[in-house]
């Protein structure tokens, strides 16, 4: 996957060299962040993964997806807390759809914490629909979830019926 430059933002394939800065954002963004090992495993598996940079070379966000037969599974999409709400997730979702087209994938799948209403709303506005739940999928704080686990909402976006908004 090559670099994509658009609107003064640059998407580059994720490599091991970027992991320190990616992990710094990951730690800020999640109470239960991915580990370095999670990222390294994804890189070793060759999963499509990109890092988004701003005009000053600042890290804005990143995503990691897993390829299936005719689908992509979005495993991680994160925008640095300081620059959330500026369309960077939408920008990366557009790129993910472009990757799907290249690979002739027809569907994107993702899981999102049931309590992550902000992310759920963003995905829904992008065109994702809820297709199921995975019970106890995520670790969670016992202060909010007595079981220490939280359900995941499973969402999917079908790409066969035309481009979702945001795509040309
Ligand atoms: C969820 C998350 C990825 C969303 O990222 P984000 O960059 O804040 O999302 P966006 O800015 O693209 O979208 C939010 C809204 O910003 C608004 N926005 C503000 N400025 C914008 C601009 N210049 N261009 C486009 N949209 C803009 C839009 O209204 C958009 O709403 P929409 O869905 O109606 O388009 C981010 O909040 C995050 O990383 N959270 C922590 C980690 C997480 O929860 N990840 C998801 C796990 S499943």
Show the 3-state SS of 64-85. Answer: EEEECCCEEEEEEEEECHHHCC
Report helix, strand or coil for 128.
Answer: coil
What value does the mean pLDDT of the chain take?
Answer: 93
Which percentage of the chain shows pLDDT scores above 70? 95
Which of 33, 97, 112, 119 for mutating ligand 1's site (highest number of atoms within 8 Å of CB)? 119
Which percentage of the chain shows pLDDT scores above 90? 89
Neighbours of 86 (CB within 10 A): 12
Q: Please give all residues whose beta carbon lies within 6 A of any atom in ligand 1, as ranges.
A: 29-30, 77-79, 84-90, 112, 116, 118-119, 122, 125
Q: pLDDT tens for residues 64-94?
A: 999 999 999 999 999 999 999 999 999 999 9
**Which residues have CB under 8 Å from 139's CB, separation 6+?**
32, 148, 149, 150
Q: What is the mean pLDDT of residues 23-43?
A: 97
- Could you report how far apart the first and last alpha carbons of the chain are, in Å? 20
CA of 78 to the centre of ligand 1 (A): 9
- As to burial, measured by CB atoms within 10 angstroms (0-12 exposed, 13-18 middle, 19+ buried), residue 91 is buried
Q: Is the pLDDT of residue 149 over 60?
A: yes
- Structural domain boundaries in the chain: 4-158
**Phi/psi-derived region of residue 166, left when phi > 0, alpha when psi is between -120 and 50, beta in every other case:** left
- Dihedrals φ, ψ of 126, to 5°? -75, -20
Q: Is the pLDDT of residue 162 over 70?
A: no
Q: Is the pLDDT of residue 166 over 70?
A: no
The yes or no reply on domain 4-158 and CATH 3.40.630.30 is yes
| Closest among 31, 18, 5 to 64, alpha carbons compared | 18
CA of 124 to the centre of ligand 1 (A): 12
Q: pLDDT tens for residues 119-140?
A: 999 999 999 999 999 999 999 9
- As to burial, measured by CB atoms within 10 angstroms (0-12 exposed, 13-18 middle, 19+ buried), residue 121 is exposed
How does DSSP assign 28-76, residue by residue? HH-SSPPPHHHHHHHHHTT--EEEEE-TTS-EEEEEEEEE-SSEEEEEE
Nearest-5° Cα angle at 78, 41 to 55: 110
Q: pLDDT tens for residues 53-63?
A: 999 999 999 99
CA of 87 to the centre of ligand 1 (A): 5
């Amino acid at each position: 996957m090559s670099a994509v430059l658009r609107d003064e933002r640059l998407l580059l394939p994720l490599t091991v060299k970027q992991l320190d800065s990616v992990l710094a954002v990951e730690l800020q963004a999640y109470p239960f962040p991915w580990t370095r090992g999670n990222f390294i495993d994804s890189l070793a598996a060759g999963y499509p993964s990109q890092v988004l940079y701003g005009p000053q070379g600042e890290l804005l966000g990143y995503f990691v997806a897993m390829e299936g037969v005719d689908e992509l599974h979005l495993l991680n999409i994160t925008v640095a807390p300081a620059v959330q709400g500026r369309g960077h997730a939408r920008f990366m979702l557009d790129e993910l759809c472009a990757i799907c087209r290249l690979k002739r994938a027809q569907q994107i799948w993702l899981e999102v914490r049931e309590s992550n209403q902000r992310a759920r709303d963003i995905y829904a506005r992008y065109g994702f629909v809820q297709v199921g739940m995975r019970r106890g999928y995520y670790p969670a704080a016992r202060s909010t979830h007595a079981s220490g686990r939280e359900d995941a909402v499973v969402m999917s976006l079908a790409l066969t019926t035309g481009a979702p908004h945001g795509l040309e």
